[in-house]
Structure 1
Amino acid sequence: MKRAQAVMEFLMMYGWAILLLLAAVAFLNYFGLFDLNKVSANSVIIFDPGLVEGEHMFNSSGLYLSIQNAFPFGLSELNLTLNTTGASTVQCNQQRAFGSIPSGGKSPLYEICTFSTPPPPEASLVANIYVTYRQEGKQTSRQTKGELKLRRE
């Protein structure tokens, strides 16, 4: 009985504050503050400590990307596959061969996707990146995954 009474007293005392907090969160959500489908900042992340995004450009003509090799060895047969996700406003599902990159080197800015009609200025590109490469002198290939979140420049 005392426990139920304590719960009722707590709700009577602080219930208005809890309702006010819930109303504020609902208000902010209604106006799109918590929209997870919006891309807030440009980022290209490859989940491998030796591969780094060198440069990127997403404009009205297409998507361009370069990769930097931070490994102490060269890479050969480097391929990149890009698959857009549901949060993306443009479609870009492509595969691109980057060839080989020496240790500490950077690939040129390769064209990954081209658009026949320019995407709108507020377009966003959200995609999964799959990078397959082989260490020079080795026979086995390795695959790593990454994420790409870009707004049109």
Structure 2
Amino acid sequence: MNKKAQAAMEFLMTYGWAILVVIAAIAALAYFGVLDPSRMLPEKCEFPAGIDCIDKAAIDADADTVGIALKNNIGFGMTIDDVTSDNSTNGCSVSNYTLSPTGTISNNQQVTITVDCGSVSAGKFDETFYVTYTNAETSLQHKAVGTVRGRA
């Protein structure tokens, strides 16, 4: 009976130390940022159906700008009236934006929006942008909500 208790105790001690070493290794990896999920998240640019991102966003921390390339696939021409953000993660308060080309964007035409943010910090960038546009056929105004994620 005594030998069984000793064997059980040796089993627990041996594997207990092994588990402790594994936990310490995982904690060290997490502390040094190897297991940081933001480093593993892919870059993305998502807008609702009809307004398609045709490339990942160009995020420049030095110039404090974000470039978004969109394609109008909603079936009619549109005019972009305003671009704003929610200032959630990076504090990208849109101070100005430029469109290329300007004016009415025909169906299947591409447009590049360059947003001047107040400050874009180097590293992870995750922001929600609101693009307000007017339908060229009905003159009704709509708002498209898009997400841009990447690294500056």
Instruction: Note whether the superposition's TM-score is higher than 0.5.
Output: yes
Q: Which residue of 2 aligns with 1:45?
A: 46
Separation of aligned partners in 2, 1:134 and 1:33: 45
Q: Which residue of 2 aligns with 1:105?
A: 109
Contact 2:80–2:131, Cα closer than 8 Å, also in 1 = no
1:41 Cα shift?
3.0
CA deviation vs aligned residue, 1:66-90 (integer Å, no higher than 9, x gap) = 321012211124432133433x3xx
Q: Which residue of 2 aligns with 1:67?
A: 70
Contact 1:77–1:133, Cα closer than 8 Å, also in 2 = yes
Provide the TM-score with structure 1 as the length reference.
0.63
Secondary structure of 1:113's aligned partner: strand
Q: Which amino acid aligns with 2:42?
A: A
Secondary structure of 2:30's aligned partner: helix
Q: Which amino acid aligns with 2:75?
A: P
CA deviation vs aligned residue, 1:28-77 (integer Å, no higher than 9, x gap) = 4333244345474322111x110012343223323222321012211124
1:25 Cα shift?
4.9
1:77–1:148 distance in 2 versus 1, CA, 3 Å: closer
Q: Which amino acid aligns with 1:143?
A: K
**Unmatched tracts of structure 2, length 5 or more:** 1-11
Separation of aligned partners in 1, 2:137 and 2:41: 41
**Unmatched tracts of structure 1, length 5 or more:** 1-11
Separation of aligned partners in 1, 2:20 and 2:73: 52
Q: Percent identity?
A: 22
Structure ID, larger Rg: 2
Q: How many residues align?
A: 136
Matching of residues 11-26 of structure 1 within 5 Å: 25-26=26-27
1:123–1:115 distance in 2 versus 1, CA, 3 Å: farther
Separation of aligned partners in 1, 2:82 and 2:117: 18
Contact 1:125–1:151, Cα closer than 8 Å, also in 2 = yes
